[in-house]
Structure formats: structure tokens, C-alpha cells
Structure 1
Amino acid sequence: MAWRNPYYDPSLAHHRVDGFVNPEPELAVGGDFWRWRRERRAQGLPQAPAAGYAAFAREWSVAPDFAQAGERIWWLGHSTLLLQIDGLRVLTDPVLSSRASPFSFVGPARKLPCVTSVAALPDVDLVLISHSHYDHLDRISVQQLARRSPAQAQPIHFIVPLGLGDKLRSFGADNVHELDWWQAFDFRGLRVRATPAQHWSARTPWDRNRTLWCGFTVHGSQRGFYFAGDTGYWHGVPEIVERCGRIDLAALPIGAYAPRWFMKGQHIDPAQAVQMHLELAARHSIAIHWGTFELADDALDEPPQKLAIALADNGLGADDFWLLKHGESRSLAMRTLAESRVHFGT
């Protein structure tokens, strides 16, 4: 018997009987995968960073200092961020293993050593997981977080899109909450809302788009944060602010965008990240999803170069769009953020 989406709601445009679709399904996601692989191999892509991998790692890695107090954000590589807000800690897409793969011996390997471990993290209150891909949902990292949860003063809560709850529970996680697009979860003064994204999901060749994918907003007493997860560009970006409230800091992907004929429906490029920054009216953005794994044809050191060009073209600079090293953090307690008054929206 054919698989049927247990969450199917015919009143929702992104629901299908056999799974889920994008906010703009007419925008192609992917294409001829084997053509891409052939062209990639023939062109010798991706190329190493200009100064080599070792020099790139030295330039773009620092040991994180989790003892820093106050409202702060750490970039821990790829799409893994630790957000400290209103006395709580929020961890996004924790991938702290050596490979983004179901196997320990094959699959995309880290090109920069991981700057931390689950054991070295401070207590975590919320974990947000945007979708099922292995570079965003890592079994080992979730298992380690689940094992440490009972030892904390407060247990960890995991927020996932529709359909991922059973997978998290199979990894040992408790307190798992599934959200559809625009649904909210309130937690100790924070409001977390799942937002649409232009992407897809799969962990095997047989489960494509059977679970939902999303971004998230997190609003506290004074600040609003947006985590894009993985997304191609779609025209509903301003609706995130209209529905969820003001965005003080947006975490936007800038890597894994080449070649555009294959990646544009699922990953934004640096110019589109700047476009999203402007459409969100974000006070600041932080670059994620680059410099960790070689998932596409762009070299590890190319996204920052293209981001700098896109920022200059739009009259923006490094203070508008933060480019952090793996392990580096940035305080949120600055005048431009502290002045904002965030509302939850409708």
C-alpha cells in the first residue's frame, strides 16, 4: 500500500497526500544529479582554499569561550549556532560529528576540525532542527544531547518540523515537539515559530519529502532571532516579519550554492543572502552554512569573498552581516539591538 502523509491537511497548500511541497513548488529543487556529479568530477571541483586546508583552518577557527555571560551567539560551524537569550540557551542543527553522513567511513567529512563537543557545551534548553538532511540532523550529536538531558537542571526540549518526531525519539530524545509552518511553541518566555523554507527532506532514497523542512524564529523579551536552516530564495520572505515579528539577528546560509543550475532551488547564494537580509529588515545577520563541509562546487573560501561583494553592492558592511570564525561569538547586548522592541506578531 502506498505511503500516506499522516499530517495531510487539504486546506494547506504545502501539504500533499504523499508528503510536503515548497512554498513555491514551481521553483525546481535539484535537477540531474548525475550530470552534476559528472561535471564536478571532470572540472576537479571543489577546489581547495587558495592557501590550503591547513591555513584555512588556522584562519577560520578559534576555541569557543562558553563562560562569556549575557546575550550572545556562537557559531560552531556549518549551521550549528548556540544562542544565549533571556537566560536560556538555544542550539540549532547540532552537527558535531566528523562526517555529515549515516556512515563513519564515507560521506562529506569536516574540512575544519570541530571546535567543540556535546560534552563541552554548557547546559542547553532548546534544540531546533530544521530538517532531516545529515548535515543538519546528526544522530550521534542528538543521542549525546539526549543522554545529558536528565543530568541538567532542566531537560532539553527538541523542536522539529512535522514528521521528524519519531526519528528524534528513536535517537533517545524526550520532550520532542513537532511544528507545521507558522505554528508556535512557547517555552519559559520564548516564543519559537516554524517558518517556511524552500528546500526538501530525505534520509534515504525512499523517504523524500515525507517530513517537513523549515526555518525558525525565536522571540524573547527584547530580541527577535531568525534561523533560516537550509533554503533557496522564495518570494514570501517578508511574510516572516509580518507574521512573527521584528528580526534583530538573522542566521542566513551563504555556502553550497554552486552550480546555480542545480543548487538555486534549494540553497541561496551570498547575493541572495544579502537580499534576504534586506527583505527581513534584519538589524544584523550572521553567515552560516559555509566553510565546514564541501557539499557543492564552491570552494570553502569563496562564500566570504562573494558576500563582501554583495554587501558592497548594497551599501552594507561587516557590521551589518557578521562573518564569524568557527567557535567565535558576538554579543547581542549592543545599542542597536537593545533599542528594539520585539512583538510576537499574529
Structure 2
Amino acid sequence: MRHPASIAALALVVLVAGCTSVNPYYDAGKPHHTAQGFKNNYPPNPAYLRPPSGFFEGWAGRLKNWTSDGSERAPLAPIATVQPDLGFIHANKAQPALTWIGHATFLLQTGNGVNILTDPVFDQRASPLSFAGPKRQQPPGVALADLPHVDAVLISHSHYDHLSVDSLRALYRQPGGPPMLFAPLGIDLWLAENITGGEKAHITRLDWWDKAAFRGLDLQLLPVHHWSSRTPWDRNETLWGAWAVTRPGFSFFFSGDLGYSKDIQDIAARFTGGFDLAAIGIGAYQPVWYRNSHVSPDEAVRIHRELRVRHSVGMHWGTFPMGQERLDQAPRDLATARAAQGIADDAFFVMRHGQTYRPPPVAR
């Protein structure tokens, strides 16, 4: 039975009024800027456009994500987890390491003493409501309270499965001081209003291709094909993007959410040496029209190849039921895609919630 207030609360979310926005960062010289917000560099793939007959199916799928417990997309077998290696995580200062907390949330340890969280979401639901919306199917691989001090947070975009008020507020209050929050244009204003109480010293905003220096690292926001919103009336008012984290001897790519586009080739042209490590989305690709927002495992392997990544980890699966495929379908399709594209099993793989991966050293 639904929570008795769920219908009214959902209606309230839908009825939140919005005004016509004005993009405070509008630059007429940048094609991805609009007077109201932002747009993608390239048109959507026509093969993935939702047919008119799919309108009601699309909305039925969204409502299912919001009102179901995810059981109809249950994995064929239990998704195994591991106990996090907290001793290593807290002691590690010198070795690049990646720990999967769930969905798009990773603890990246860069090998020079910096701890970075990507898209931190520790909530039970990827939703503004506590009783409706996509429900977490696996607990966070590392509890928020068990994290080492987080030095920086990378935010890819504004969707609820990537941007959490409660998680960011907790991180901002962490012992030892708040992390630096790196965010695409527009999300900086949301952070100041909802997280930092107006304080901006710990917020760095970036446009596509902008680069910020942080404790020996270069953090760069990269263009990808996606969109943003937190209400029905603020679509694309804030920017979205992928991230590159680089320093001499180590490089990392975080895809955020993306549909496959020529942006990948544009990124590859700037990062000619490739990446040592990447986290690339592989879930929420069914039905097919989701693939203008999320890549399939086959497209994820193509991204891995085109960006010349040495080792990639699949993310955006197994945690929240965001697409219509089963929660464990993506890893099976990833294995098929690897074989079809001639990629070794250990070059693009999935992790268990709580698992830490330590990429092998690369001879330079």
C-alpha cells in the first residue's frame, strides 16, 4: 500500500511553480549556452528518439520508477557486495585507488593524498521524497560516517540520483572542514542556496573545458550529451558534464550520465594519451530511447576504446532501478560487448559495492 500522503506529495512536486529562467552565465559566443540555460553540442541520435506511440509507455516507466519497489527489475541472482577495506582507505595516501559506493558515487584516491567523491548520493531514494522515487537496492558500499576526510566533490549534473541535498550537507559538515565542491555552471548557485548557506569559498564553478587546479591536480569539466532538471520547469537551466582528473603519472575519467555523441571524439582529441582509469555508465539503457541520455554497455565499451582508457569500471547499475532492464542485466551485456569489440575482461569490468580497485602502475 502506498503511503497515504504519497499522491498529494507527488502532486505537490508536479505543481511546484517555476518562472521563466534567465541564464546568469549566458555567453552568446558559446554555442552550448542559451539565454535560458544550456544545450548539447550535437543533435540527438535519431535512432533513439522516442516514437509518438511511446509517449505513454515512457511516462508509465517513469511512474513505475517512482512508485514501485523495483522488484519487477530484480536481478536474476543476488548482487554480491564486499566489506570495504577501511584500513586501506583511511591509510592510503600514495596509491591511486577507486572504491565503489554505489551508482555513480565513488571514492577516488588520486595517489597524491587527495580524496575525491563523485556524485555523492547516500540516500535511500533518488528522489525529493522519502517514500517515493527510485529506491536503493544495495546499501552504500561505504557508509558516509566511515569515509576518510573528503577533500573534493565532483558533481556531474542536477538529477536526483547524482545530486543529493542530505549527502552534500553531511559532507559539508564533516570533521576537519568542508570539501571543495566542483560543479557545472548553475549548480554552483544551487549549492550556495541549499548546502553552504550562501558561502561560496568552497564552491568552484566550471563551464565545458574549464580547468581548475586543486592540490596538485587538474580538474576539468568535459562536454557530454545529457540534460538537467530537478523540477518539471527547470530543464537544462544548469549545465552537465563529465570530469577529467589528471596529475603527472595518473589520469581518471568520470562519465557522469551521457548518451553517445561526437563529444567523445572531441575529448579524445584533447587527451591524446588516454586515461589510466575511468568510471563509465553502463545502466539505464532500456527502453531504447533512454540511450540519448545513457549509454548501453556496447556504447560504453566503444567510449572506453575511443578514449584509450587502460582500465574502465562500469557504474550506474545495480543500485537504483533507473532503467527498465533488470538490475544485473548491464554486467551481462557488458561481457557480450567486450567480447564483440575485442576488449579483455580485466580492461573493462564491474566492481562490487564496497570494493576497492587499485590500478596497476603504468610505465611512462
Please confirm whether the aligned pair reaches a TM-score higher than 0.5, indicating the same fold. Answer: yes
Would you say the 8 A contact 2:228–2:237 is kept in 1?
A: yes
Match of 1:228, as an amino acid?
S
1:64 and 2:78 aligned: no
Match of 1:226 among 242, 253, 272: 253
Q: 1:33 to 1:102 in 2, by over 3 A?
A: farther
Q: Which residue of 1 aligns with 2:268?
A: 241
Q: Write the deviation string for residues 280-323 of structure 1: whole angstroms up to 9, x where unpaired.
A: 01111111100001111110110000000000111212210121
Q: Which residue of 1 aligns with 2:21?
A: 3
Distance 2:352 2:20 in 1: 46
1:97 and 2:128 aligned: no
1:263-274 alignment runs, 5 A limit: 263-274=290-301
Would you say the 8 A contact 2:224–2:263 is kept in 1?
A: no
CA-based RMSD: 2.0
Q: Write the deviation string for residues 21-66 of structure 1: whole angstroms up to 9, x where unpaired.
A: 112134468745532244787xx99532123xxx33xx2x112113
Following superposition, the deviation at residue 114 of structure 1 comes to: 2.1
Q: Which residue of 1 aligns with 2:186?
A: 163
1:26-37 alignment runs, 5 A limit: 26-27=44-45, 31=50, 33-37=55-59
Q: Write the deviation string for residues 88-109 of structure 1: whole angstroms up to 9, x where unpaired.
A: 1111000011110001111110
Would you say the 8 A contact 1:142–1:171 is kept in 2?
A: no
3-state DSSP of counterpart to 1:15: coil
> TM-score, normalized by length of structure 2?
0.85
Match of 1:64, as an amino acid?
P
1:16 and 2:34 aligned: yes
Q: Write the deviation string for residues 169-223 of structure 1: whole angstroms up to 9, x where unpaired.
A: 2233350111000000100110000000111000011100000000000001211
Match of 1:270, as an amino acid?
P
3-state DSSP of counterpart to 1:219: strand
Would you say the 8 A contact 2:21–2:237 is kept in 1?
A: no
1:139 and 2:165 aligned: yes
1:30-45 alignment runs, 5 A limit: 31=50, 33-38=55-60
Distance 1:36 1:112 in 2: 25
Match of 2:85, as an amino acid?
D
1:1-346 alignment runs, 5 A limit: 2-27=20-45, 31=50, 33-38=55-60, 46-51=72-77, 55-56=78-79, 59=80, 61-68=81-88, 69=92, 70-85=95-110, 86-148=112-174, 151-152=175-176, 155-173=178-196, 174=199, 175-244=202-271, 246-260=274-288, 262-332=289-359, 334-335=360-361, 338-340=362-364
Distance 1:10 1:74 in 2: 40
Match of 1:78, as an amino acid?
H
Q: How much identity, in percent, do the aligned residues show?
A: 42
Q: How many residues align?
A: 325
Distance 2:192 2:56 in 1: 34
Distance 2:291 2:102 in 1: 22
Distance 2:129 2:60 in 1: 23
Q: 1:155 to 1:50 in 2, by over 3 A?
A: closer
Distance 2:257 2:145 in 1: 26
Would you say the 8 A contact 1:147–1:172 is kept in 2?
A: no
3-state DSSP of counterpart to 1:104: coil
Would you say the 8 A contact 2:282–2:317 is kept in 1?
A: yes
